[in-house]
Structure 1
Amino acid sequence: MYQLGHYGIAMLVYAPVGAALVLAGHPFAAYVGGAVMVGTATLPDCDHRLPLVEHRGPTHSLAFALLVGGVLAVAGSALAPAVDGVLGLDPAVLGFALGTLSVSTHLLGDVLTPMGIRPLWPLSRRRYSLNLTPAKNRVANYGLFALGVLATAVTVVGLARVA
Protein backbone atom coordinates (compact mmCIF):
# COMPACT_ATOMS: atom_id res chain seq x y z
CA MET A 1 0.00 0.00 0.00
CA TYR A 2 0.94 3.61 -0.36
CA GLN A 3 0.92 6.29 2.33
CA LEU A 4 -2.82 7.08 2.28
CA GLY A 5 -3.74 3.40 2.38
CA HIS A 6 -1.56 2.89 5.45
CA TYR A 7 -3.08 5.94 7.16
CA GLY A 8 -6.54 4.54 6.45
CA ILE A 9 -5.79 1.10 7.86
CA ALA A 10 -4.24 2.65 10.98
CA MET A 11 -7.36 4.76 11.57
CA LEU A 12 -9.68 1.84 10.82
CA VAL A 13 -7.93 -0.45 13.31
CA TYR A 14 -7.47 2.26 15.94
CA ALA A 15 -11.05 3.59 15.95
CA PRO A 16 -12.41 0.92 18.33
CA VAL A 17 -9.27 1.12 20.49
CA GLY A 18 -9.64 4.89 20.79
CA ALA A 19 -13.33 4.47 21.60
CA ALA A 20 -12.50 1.97 24.34
CA LEU A 21 -9.97 4.40 25.83
CA VAL A 22 -12.52 7.23 25.83
CA LEU A 23 -15.20 5.03 27.38
CA ALA A 24 -12.72 3.90 30.03
CA GLY A 25 -12.19 7.53 31.00
CA HIS A 26 -8.91 8.19 29.15
CA PRO A 27 -9.81 10.66 26.38
CA PHE A 28 -6.40 12.35 26.27
CA ALA A 29 -4.69 8.97 25.87
CA ALA A 30 -7.11 8.19 23.04
CA TYR A 31 -6.20 11.38 21.18
CA VAL A 32 -2.48 10.88 21.73
CA GLY A 33 -2.88 7.29 20.56
CA GLY A 34 -4.59 8.35 17.36
CA ALA A 35 -1.81 10.82 16.60
CA VAL A 36 0.87 8.20 17.27
CA MET A 37 -0.91 5.63 15.11
CA VAL A 38 -1.20 7.92 12.10
CA GLY A 39 2.24 9.42 12.71
CA THR A 40 3.97 6.06 12.65
CA ALA A 41 1.74 4.29 10.11
CA THR A 42 4.40 4.42 7.40
CA LEU A 43 7.44 3.83 9.63
CA PRO A 44 8.23 0.38 8.18
CA ASP A 45 8.78 2.03 4.79
CA CYS A 46 11.90 3.70 6.20
CA ASP A 47 13.63 0.77 4.50
CA HIS A 48 13.39 2.72 1.23
CA ARG A 49 16.02 5.05 2.66
CA LEU A 50 18.21 2.51 4.43
CA PRO A 51 21.20 1.18 2.51
CA LEU A 52 21.58 -2.59 2.49
CA VAL A 53 18.04 -3.12 3.84
CA GLU A 54 15.69 -4.84 1.42
CA HIS A 55 12.23 -3.32 1.01
CA ARG A 56 9.67 -5.36 2.92
CA GLY A 57 12.45 -7.15 4.70
CA PRO A 58 13.24 -6.71 8.42
CA THR A 59 11.13 -3.56 8.85
CA HIS A 60 8.05 -5.43 7.67
CA SER A 61 8.11 -8.09 10.39
CA LEU A 62 6.57 -8.77 13.76
CA ALA A 63 10.07 -8.45 15.24
CA PHE A 64 10.18 -4.84 14.00
CA ALA A 65 6.70 -4.24 15.43
CA LEU A 66 7.95 -5.39 18.83
CA LEU A 67 11.12 -3.30 18.47
CA VAL A 68 9.11 -0.16 17.70
CA GLY A 69 6.82 -0.98 20.62
CA GLY A 70 9.90 -1.29 22.84
CA VAL A 71 11.32 2.03 21.65
CA LEU A 72 7.99 3.78 22.30
CA ALA A 73 7.78 2.11 25.72
CA VAL A 74 11.19 3.57 26.61
CA ALA A 75 10.07 6.96 25.27
CA GLY A 76 6.90 6.68 27.33
CA SER A 77 8.95 5.91 30.44
CA ALA A 78 11.13 8.94 29.78
CA LEU A 79 8.05 11.13 29.36
CA ALA A 80 6.28 9.68 32.41
CA PRO A 81 7.22 12.51 34.80
CA ALA A 82 5.96 15.12 32.33
CA VAL A 83 2.63 13.38 31.69
CA ASP A 84 2.06 12.04 35.19
CA GLY A 85 -1.69 11.94 35.75
CA VAL A 86 -2.55 13.45 32.36
CA LEU A 87 -2.80 10.22 30.37
CA GLY A 88 -4.44 8.18 33.08
CA LEU A 89 -2.45 5.17 31.87
CA ASP A 90 1.15 4.01 32.17
CA PRO A 91 2.91 5.83 29.28
CA ALA A 92 5.33 2.93 28.80
CA VAL A 93 2.52 0.42 28.37
CA LEU A 94 0.63 2.78 26.07
CA GLY A 95 3.80 3.39 24.03
CA PHE A 96 4.48 -0.31 23.63
CA ALA A 97 0.91 -1.06 22.61
CA LEU A 98 0.73 1.81 20.11
CA GLY A 99 4.11 1.12 18.53
CA THR A 100 3.39 -2.57 18.10
CA LEU A 101 -0.13 -1.95 16.81
CA SER A 102 0.93 0.76 14.37
CA VAL A 103 3.56 -1.39 12.67
CA SER A 104 1.13 -4.31 12.66
CA THR A 105 -1.43 -2.22 10.76
CA HIS A 106 1.26 -1.43 8.20
CA LEU A 107 1.90 -5.16 7.80
CA LEU A 108 -1.82 -5.71 7.37
CA GLY A 109 -1.86 -3.24 4.49
CA ASP A 110 1.14 -4.77 2.75
CA VAL A 111 -0.09 -8.36 3.08
CA LEU A 112 -2.95 -7.33 0.78
CA THR A 113 -0.47 -6.85 -2.09
CA PRO A 114 1.12 -9.45 -4.39
CA MET A 115 4.60 -8.71 -2.97
CA GLY A 116 3.36 -9.55 0.52
CA ILE A 117 5.46 -9.52 3.66
CA ARG A 118 7.74 -11.79 5.66
CA PRO A 119 6.21 -11.30 9.11
CA LEU A 120 8.24 -14.03 10.81
CA TRP A 121 11.66 -12.63 9.81
CA PRO A 122 14.31 -13.56 11.06
CA LEU A 123 12.87 -16.97 11.92
CA SER A 124 11.48 -17.55 8.44
CA ARG A 125 11.92 -15.95 5.02
CA ARG A 126 8.52 -17.18 3.85
CA ARG A 127 6.36 -14.49 2.26
CA TYR A 128 2.67 -14.16 2.99
CA SER A 129 0.32 -12.41 0.59
CA LEU A 130 -3.42 -12.23 0.09
CA ASN A 131 -2.70 -10.93 -3.44
CA LEU A 132 -5.80 -8.70 -3.44
CA THR A 133 -4.44 -5.50 -4.98
CA PRO A 134 -1.20 -3.94 -6.17
CA ALA A 135 0.31 -1.47 -3.70
CA LYS A 136 -0.04 1.34 -6.22
CA ASN A 137 -3.78 0.82 -6.81
CA ARG A 138 -5.28 4.28 -6.30
CA VAL A 139 -8.78 2.95 -5.71
CA ALA A 140 -7.56 0.61 -2.97
CA ASN A 141 -5.43 3.29 -1.29
CA TYR A 142 -8.11 5.97 -1.40
CA GLY A 143 -10.74 3.41 -0.43
CA LEU A 144 -8.78 2.32 2.65
CA PHE A 145 -8.21 5.95 3.57
CA ALA A 146 -11.92 6.69 3.22
CA LEU A 147 -12.77 3.67 5.39
CA GLY A 148 -10.36 4.87 8.07
CA VAL A 149 -11.81 8.38 8.04
CA LEU A 150 -15.33 6.96 8.12
CA ALA A 151 -14.53 4.64 11.04
CA THR A 152 -13.00 7.54 12.94
CA ALA A 153 -15.96 9.83 12.21
CA VAL A 154 -18.51 7.19 13.21
CA THR A 155 -16.58 6.59 16.42
CA VAL A 156 -16.40 10.29 17.29
CA VAL A 157 -20.11 10.82 16.54
CA GLY A 158 -21.02 7.69 18.49
CA LEU A 159 -18.99 8.80 21.49
CA ALA A 160 -20.54 12.27 21.34
CA ARG A 161 -24.00 10.69 21.58
CA VAL A 162 -22.98 8.57 24.54
CA ALA A 163 -21.57 11.56 26.44
Structure 2
Amino acid sequence: MYKFGHFGAALLVYAPLGATVSVVGDGTLAVIGAVVCVSLSTVPDCDQYLPGTEHRGATHTVLFGLLVGTLLAAIATLVGNYSAFTVDRATAAFVFVVGTLSIYSHLLADVITPMGIRPFRPLSDRHYTLSLTRAANPTANYLLLLVGLGVTAVITIVVSIG
Protein backbone atom coordinates (compact mmCIF):
# COMPACT_ATOMS: atom_id res chain seq x y z
CA MET A 1 0.00 0.00 0.00
CA TYR A 2 0.96 3.63 -0.29
CA LYS A 3 1.09 6.35 2.34
CA PHE A 4 -2.66 7.08 2.62
CA GLY A 5 -3.49 3.40 2.83
CA HIS A 6 -0.96 3.00 5.63
CA PHE A 7 -2.39 6.03 7.45
CA GLY A 8 -5.85 4.45 7.29
CA ALA A 9 -4.57 1.07 8.49
CA ALA A 10 -2.83 2.77 11.43
CA LEU A 11 -6.02 4.58 12.43
CA LEU A 12 -8.04 1.41 12.10
CA VAL A 13 -5.67 -0.62 14.27
CA TYR A 14 -5.10 2.17 16.82
CA ALA A 15 -8.73 3.23 17.32
CA PRO A 16 -9.64 0.60 19.97
CA LEU A 17 -6.48 1.36 21.98
CA GLY A 18 -7.04 5.11 21.72
CA ALA A 19 -10.64 4.70 22.88
CA THR A 20 -9.53 2.62 25.85
CA VAL A 21 -6.91 5.16 26.91
CA SER A 22 -9.44 7.96 26.50
CA VAL A 23 -12.09 6.14 28.57
CA VAL A 24 -9.52 5.47 31.30
CA GLY A 25 -9.17 9.22 31.48
CA ASP A 26 -6.28 10.46 29.37
CA GLY A 27 -7.71 11.91 26.17
CA THR A 28 -4.54 13.90 25.48
CA LEU A 29 -2.39 10.77 25.61
CA ALA A 30 -4.88 9.00 23.32
CA VAL A 31 -4.57 11.77 20.71
CA ILE A 32 -0.77 11.83 20.97
CA GLY A 33 -0.77 8.06 20.51
CA ALA A 34 -2.87 8.38 17.35
CA VAL A 35 -0.53 11.01 15.90
CA VAL A 36 2.54 8.89 16.69
CA CYS A 37 0.95 5.72 15.31
CA VAL A 38 -0.02 7.38 12.02
CA SER A 39 3.34 9.17 11.79
CA LEU A 40 5.29 5.94 12.14
CA SER A 41 3.01 3.86 9.92
CA THR A 42 5.20 4.33 6.85
CA VAL A 43 8.55 3.70 8.59
CA PRO A 44 8.93 0.14 7.21
CA ASP A 45 9.11 1.57 3.69
CA CYS A 46 12.40 3.29 4.60
CA ASP A 47 13.95 0.11 3.19
CA GLN A 48 13.35 1.53 -0.29
CA TYR A 49 15.95 4.22 0.43
CA LEU A 50 18.58 2.07 2.12
CA PRO A 51 21.18 0.68 -0.29
CA GLY A 52 21.51 -3.09 -0.20
CA THR A 53 18.21 -3.52 1.63
CA GLU A 54 15.43 -5.63 0.18
CA HIS A 55 12.00 -4.00 -0.02
CA ARG A 56 9.59 -5.74 2.34
CA GLY A 57 12.52 -7.44 3.96
CA ALA A 58 13.77 -6.85 7.52
CA THR A 59 11.67 -3.73 8.09
CA HIS A 60 8.48 -5.64 7.33
CA THR A 61 8.76 -8.17 10.15
CA VAL A 62 7.24 -8.82 13.55
CA LEU A 63 10.74 -8.45 15.02
CA PHE A 64 11.13 -4.96 13.52
CA GLY A 65 7.81 -3.93 15.09
CA LEU A 66 9.03 -5.08 18.51
CA LEU A 67 12.31 -3.25 17.96
CA VAL A 68 10.55 0.02 17.11
CA GLY A 69 8.24 -0.31 20.13
CA THR A 70 11.18 -1.03 22.44
CA LEU A 71 13.18 1.88 21.06
CA LEU A 72 10.30 4.31 21.51
CA ALA A 73 9.64 3.13 25.09
CA ALA A 74 13.34 3.54 25.90
CA ILE A 75 13.37 7.06 24.43
CA ALA A 76 10.20 7.99 26.35
CA THR A 77 11.74 6.69 29.57
CA LEU A 78 14.94 8.65 29.00
CA VAL A 79 12.98 11.81 28.23
CA GLY A 80 11.00 11.22 31.42
CA ASN A 81 14.19 10.82 33.45
CA TYR A 82 15.77 14.02 32.15
CA SER A 83 12.83 16.41 31.81
CA ALA A 84 9.76 17.75 33.57
CA PHE A 85 7.61 15.03 31.95
CA THR A 86 6.71 12.01 34.02
CA VAL A 87 6.92 8.66 32.26
CA ASP A 88 5.73 5.87 34.52
CA ARG A 89 5.69 2.18 33.60
CA ALA A 90 2.16 2.36 32.25
CA THR A 91 3.07 5.24 29.94
CA ALA A 92 6.23 3.47 28.77
CA ALA A 93 4.15 0.34 28.08
CA PHE A 94 1.65 2.46 26.12
CA VAL A 95 4.48 3.97 24.06
CA PHE A 96 5.82 0.46 23.36
CA VAL A 97 2.40 -0.72 22.19
CA VAL A 98 1.86 2.36 19.98
CA GLY A 99 5.28 1.94 18.32
CA THR A 100 4.77 -1.76 17.75
CA LEU A 101 1.19 -1.29 16.57
CA SER A 102 2.22 1.33 14.02
CA ILE A 103 4.60 -1.14 12.36
CA TYR A 104 2.11 -4.01 12.57
CA SER A 105 -0.56 -1.84 10.93
CA HIS A 106 1.85 -1.40 8.03
CA LEU A 107 2.30 -5.16 7.77
CA LEU A 108 -1.47 -5.68 7.78
CA ALA A 109 -1.89 -3.19 4.95
CA ASP A 110 0.87 -4.82 2.90
CA VAL A 111 -0.44 -8.36 3.39
CA ILE A 112 -3.50 -7.53 1.26
CA THR A 113 -1.26 -6.93 -1.78
CA PRO A 114 0.01 -9.65 -4.15
CA MET A 115 3.61 -8.92 -3.12
CA GLY A 116 2.66 -9.74 0.48
CA ILE A 117 5.13 -10.01 3.33
CA ARG A 118 7.39 -12.48 5.13
CA PRO A 119 6.71 -11.26 8.69
CA PHE A 120 8.52 -13.99 10.60
CA ARG A 121 11.94 -13.63 9.02
CA PRO A 122 14.60 -14.70 9.89
CA LEU A 123 12.83 -17.61 11.61
CA SER A 124 10.63 -18.44 8.63
CA ASP A 125 10.57 -17.46 4.95
CA ARG A 126 6.86 -18.25 4.67
CA HIS A 127 5.12 -15.74 2.43
CA TYR A 128 1.74 -14.27 3.42
CA THR A 129 -0.61 -12.50 1.02
CA LEU A 130 -4.33 -12.07 0.59
CA SER A 131 -3.70 -10.74 -2.93
CA LEU A 132 -6.74 -8.44 -2.80
CA THR A 133 -5.31 -5.36 -4.49
CA ARG A 134 -2.11 -3.92 -5.86
CA ALA A 135 -0.25 -1.55 -3.54
CA ALA A 136 -0.47 1.22 -6.15
CA ASN A 137 -4.27 1.05 -6.43
CA PRO A 138 -5.42 4.58 -5.48
CA THR A 139 -9.00 3.44 -4.84
CA ALA A 140 -7.84 0.79 -2.35
CA ASN A 141 -5.50 3.23 -0.62
CA TYR A 142 -8.15 5.94 -0.22
CA LEU A 143 -10.76 3.39 0.79
CA LEU A 144 -8.48 2.12 3.56
CA LEU A 145 -7.91 5.73 4.66
CA LEU A 146 -11.67 6.39 4.71
CA VAL A 147 -12.35 3.21 6.69
CA GLY A 148 -9.67 4.17 9.23
CA LEU A 149 -11.04 7.70 9.54
CA GLY A 150 -14.60 6.39 9.77
CA VAL A 151 -13.86 3.87 12.50
CA THR A 152 -11.87 6.48 14.41
CA ALA A 153 -14.73 8.98 14.12
CA VAL A 154 -17.37 6.48 15.25
CA ILE A 155 -15.28 5.35 18.22
CA THR A 156 -14.51 8.96 19.16
CA ILE A 157 -18.22 9.86 19.08
CA VAL A 158 -19.20 6.80 21.13
CA VAL A 159 -16.50 7.52 23.73
CA SER A 160 -17.46 11.20 24.00
CA ILE A 161 -21.17 10.37 24.40
CA GLY A 162 -20.56 7.63 26.96
With the shorter chain as reference, the TM-score category is: over 0.9
Residue identity opposite 2:71 in structure 1: V
How many residue pairs were aligned?
Answer: 160
Please state whether the residue corresponding to 2:7 is helix, strand or coil: helix
Gaps of 5+ in 2: none
**Residues 3 and 42 in structure 1, CA contact (< 8 A), matched pair in contact too:** yes
Looking at structure 1, the residues matched to 5 and 21 of structure 2 have their Cα atoms a distance apart, in angstroms, of 24
Q: CA deviation at 1:30?
A: 0.6
TM-score under structure 1 length normalisation: 0.93
Task: Report if the CA contact (8 A) 1:4-1:141 is conserved.
Answer: yes
Unaligned 5+ residue runs, structure 1?
none
State percent identity of aligned pairs: 47
Spell out the pairing of 1:118-129 with structure 2 (5 A cutoff): 118-129=118-129
Find the counterpart in structure 1 of residue 86 from structure 2.
84
Describe the SS at the equivalent of 1:90. Answer: helix
Tell me how far 1:84 sits from its aligned partner. Answer: 1.3
Superposed CA deviations along residues 63-108 of structure 1, whole A, max 9, x for unmatched, are: 10011011101111112243217xx763321221111111000000
Aligned to 2:95: 95
Specify the alignment match of 2:133 in structure 1.
133
Q: Secondary structure at the match of 2:31?
A: helix
Q: Distance between the aligned counterparts of 1:106 and 1:83, measured in 2?
A: 30
Length-normalised TM-score, structure 2: 0.94
Within a 5 Å distance, the mapping from 1:27-42 to structure 2 comes to 27-42=27-42
Hey, what's the Cα distance between the residues in 2 that align with 1:110 and 1:9?
Answer: 10
